[in-house]
Amino acid sequence: MTPHIRPIVTAAILLLLSASLALGASVSVTSQGNGVYTVQASDMDGVSGFDLVLNYDATVLASPSISQGALVSGAMFAANPNYSKTSIKIAAVSTKSFSGSGPIATITFGTHSGTGSVTVASFSPINSSGATVSGSITTGDTTSSDTTGTTSNETTSSNTNRGSNGTSGTTTTNTTTTGNSGPTYLGTVTMPSDSQSQHETKTPPSPAPEGSAKPAEAPTPSATEAAPTIETPAVNETAAAKTKKAETIATASNTAVLERFRAYKGEKTPAILIALFKEQISASFRQEPFVALSDGTTTVTIAADLSAESGGSPNFALNGAKLVSLRKSDTSPTWYIEALPTKGVLSASLMVLSENHVTEYPLTIAPAIKNAASTEVEFATFLKDAAKTPAQHDLNGDGRYDGIDDYIYAANYLARQMKAQTIAK
């Protein structure tokens, strides 16, 4: 290679390498036909969790269900098929990094009148420390009928031991995972919690292309039955290579105060709305203070009574908040988790994962606003004005006044009341 050519080639290689590194993990969606879509991830090395929002054409697609893909097998996986009328939210978090490329989810639409588009609206990956890593969205042909992608046949061992319920008023479902380990704190990933935080799913068989003799992919067993070991032929397969059986674990979600406000349709007075905050969320969990503002500086402490749990030490994962400290009582099975909610978030939660349960406890937080009421009279005036001119009382910027705005205002009112009481002491 001539001397004047070498620097040019070297620069070109470095440019291509830097572009590749900048791209990082990526996701794309491919149609398998018959209302089935595969969500494929690439270059997932170093990624330990992500949340993903997908939009779909509701004019031809309806009743979606989601199942976990092979690439994220063993991770804590949550899906909300009803995130909105036209979107789906998926999140996964693992104590071990994912590796390579492969399917992360399969979406099956129970009703479909054609091949509608399914596109990635957002993709937010994190590493094992909870820090955001580079991610991108790959735009491809979502109408292809024969895209299998790279499939991982390796069972990923995870130490996401899941927590207990122990209280009424929770929604319990089942899911599967593998592996076991000691206490761990996982990074921030927003797990779907609206309507259906953990969705029991079955993986439908992928339809083979028309005229092809290729067999359909074996379905994943349901969450309520043990997953049999599926032997996959391999060139260097040995008798020592065995697939671990998945354990069936129970998942419970407690109803957040925010959800109470969303559902409330009765008379609105300061006393009634304040009472919605003070009703107990769970007999096993307690947040102090019971309501806080996500102003970037205020922390909350969750006392988690895990006396009903058995087995090894629990694991904890925070969604929408950062761990500040974690300690266990010397005299009781209570853990104290101090967390700093992400600035401006409307909701966050603590996931407690133990031997065979996972429990989600929602934090009661709200973004800070200016000019919140400092007296009950001012609070009542806000409610009265909002009934007359609702458009002027949109606090979360979604273009309408509803229970979410009442929640934000009431939370700020209570936070001001508690601050005034602390100063008075």
* Confidence check: pLDDT of 224 > 50: no
* Confidence check: pLDDT of 146 > 80: no
| pLDDT per position as a tens digit, 174-196 | 333 333 333 344 444 555 544 33
| pLDDT per position as a tens digit, 242-254 | 334 344 456 777 8
Minimal CA–CA distance to 174: which of 317, 356, 7, 306?
356
In angstroms, the CA 90 to CA 390 distance is: 33
- Residue ranges and CATH numbers for the domains of the chain are 23-154 (2.60.40.680), 252-424 (2.60.40.10)
In angstroms, the CA 151 to CA 162 distance is: 27
| pLDDT per position as a tens digit, 8-28 | 444 443 433 333 333 578 999
Q: What is the mean pLDDT of the chain?
A: 74
| pLDDT per position as a tens digit, 82-136 | 888 899 988 888 777 898 999 999 999 988 887 789 999 988 888 876 677 777 8
Q: What pLDDT does residue 129 have?
A: 67
Q: What pLDDT does residue 425 have?
A: 66
Minimal CA–CA distance to 227: which of 246, 249, 203, 199?
246
Q: What pLDDT does residue 144 have?
A: 37
Q: What pLDDT does residue 192 have?
A: 55
pTM over 0.85: no
Answer with the residue of higher pLDDT: 1 or 286: 286
In angstroms, the CA 333 to CA 33 distance is: 51
Q: What pLDDT does residue 331 have?
A: 92
pLDDT over 90 percentage in the chain? 39
Q: List Cα–Cα distances, 125 to 26, 47, 162, 286, 370, in angstroms.
A: 9, 6, 22, 30, 33
Q: What pLDDT does residue 424 have?
A: 72
